Chain A
Amino acid sequence: MRIENWQIKEELKYDNNNFWIEIKDRQALIGLSDYGQWVIGDILYIELGQEGAPIRKGESCGSVESGKWVGNLIAPVSGCILECNSAAVENPRQIQEDPYGAGWLIKIALDSTDENGSLLDCASYAEFIKEQIKNAA
């Protein structure tokens, strides 16, 4: 599905910090959505949490810098970091060129599946983007 210039993948879940989340067997693969990477702009540097570290939904799991702006990456689910995408850290351009593929950010072992219900499906996320665009106009 496309909303304006941005691709949204129907099989993924999303949150309102513009992360996509792919959940399989109590593990979550997480990255920035196409719209999310556009909002951030030209990413110069990205820092992700340590592998093995616990993260809590709503708390920082890393930070990103683009064009003299820095912001926190807010974890969409709780769990323990299994893996960080070192290639994306090394070359943040990957996040912008292939946000749903080579630009993934972290893999998490989920604490539970209770939080999954609060994530957005593709249609709800599309509405969220439209609302953001409307409010910014």
Chain B
Amino acid sequence: MDIYNPGMVSWWESQCYYHALAYLGREGVILCSPAEPYVCLGLHDDLDQEIDQEFCQGARLPLFRRETGGGVVYLDRCQIFYQVVLRRENRLIPLKRDQFFSRILKPAIDVCLSLGIKAELAPPADIKAGGRKCSGNAAGDIGQAVAYVGNLMLNFDYEAMSRVLKVPSPAYRRYFYEAMQDNMLVLSGVDMREVESGLISGFEKIFGKLRERPIDNELQDMAISLRERLTSDDWLSMPGRRLPLRRIKITEGLFLQEGETEEGTKVLCLMRDGQIEESHAVGDSPLAFDRKGTERVSGASGIF
């Protein structure tokens, strides 16, 4: 198995190399980080519903739609990506694709454990420590290959993430920002090289000794041609899943959802594992939302 460890690459290269490997039918592990921030949509995300395009344009944040699952993510240089591409016939891949996450995420979990962070898999594909997410992951069949991709966060720009997504009100945005802070965890103060070497030794336990390879011309050329398609307006604007009420996933099993009680009061609900954990009445006023100060709605079981 080959490993490509180009370190810091341009924003589009951080997505296109694994797509290129997959379309070329080549197996490999890639470790990299994007030099510039960008926003990445999952294959089935709906651009118009999900993204505040005006903000992204103003902040010069490029958009990319990957061919793997999961939702919109804000990505930047403070995250280290691991991307594993296997041919579909590889005997390591189980019949049910999502069952492979437990194996493919072991290196990232072990890195966290070595740093004293009690991380574990939150099925299907999050890594959590103390209930807080420190790694997001996704997978997809691309060409004749399967790609498993994920990241470890050494820092996270909560403010940027809360601005990138389209939300129905300032109150919603503030609640989203707070909920992310409460439920996410970054590996702050950790040396990136240390994380990389931990990941490499973890992947060697799965695949055997990894052969380090540079990005070659074939890979580079395919990546460049894929960039055009995967960032084109037609591709980005492809319709995706739409919901009648805004619902944003924060971590596995945790959603922020807008709703309305039977009396017509607008509410914001934090739903954990299908149950309302918190709900707050919100008005139409654009005044800042005070989660601690607003009235908590009891029995908010109205229209969701």
Contacts and interface: CB of A to CB of B under 8 A. Distances in A.
Contact of B97 (A69, A72, A132, A133): A69
Secondary structure of the B contact surface, majority rule: loop
B95 A136 contact: yes
A69 B95 contact: no
Contacts, number: 63
Interface string B219-233: 000000000000000
B25 interface: no
Interface string B134-156: 00011111000000000000000
Given A68-B125, A68-B137, A135-B91, A63 B96 contact: no
Interface residues of B, number: 24
Interface string A96-134: 000000000000000000000000000000000000110
Interface stretch (B26-34, B65-73, B162-170): B65-73
Contacts of A45: 44, 240-241
Given A65-B69, A70-B44, A136 B94 contact: yes
A63 B97 CA distance: 15
B94 A69 contact: no
A52 interface: no
Contacts of B42: 65, 70
Contacts of A47: 44, 240
B96 A41 contact: yes
A47 B124 CA distance: 21
B98 interface: yes
Contacts of B141: 69-72
Interface string B68-89: 1110000000000000000000
A95 to B, nearest CB: 15
A35 B68 CA distance: 23
Contact of B43 (A40, A63, A132): A63
B60 to A, nearest CB: 29
Contacts of B69: 65-70
Given A45-B241, A47-B240, A68-B139, 19 more contacts: A40-B96, A41-B98, A45-B44, A47-B44, A65-B69, A66-B69, A67-B69, A67-B98, A67-B123, A68-B101, A68-B124, A69-B97, A69-B138, A70-B67, A70-B68, A71-B140, A71-B141, A72-B141, A133-B95
Interface of A: 38-41, 45, 47, 63, 65-72, 132-133, 135-136
28 contacts: A38-B96, A39-B95, A39-B96, A41-B97, A45-B44, A45-B240, A63-B43, A63-B44, A65-B42, A65-B44, A67-B69, A67-B124, A67-B125, A68-B70, A68-B101, A68-B138, A69-B97, A69-B98, A69-B124, A69-B139, A69-B140, A70-B67, A70-B138, A71-B140, A71-B141, A132-B95, A135-B91, A136-B95
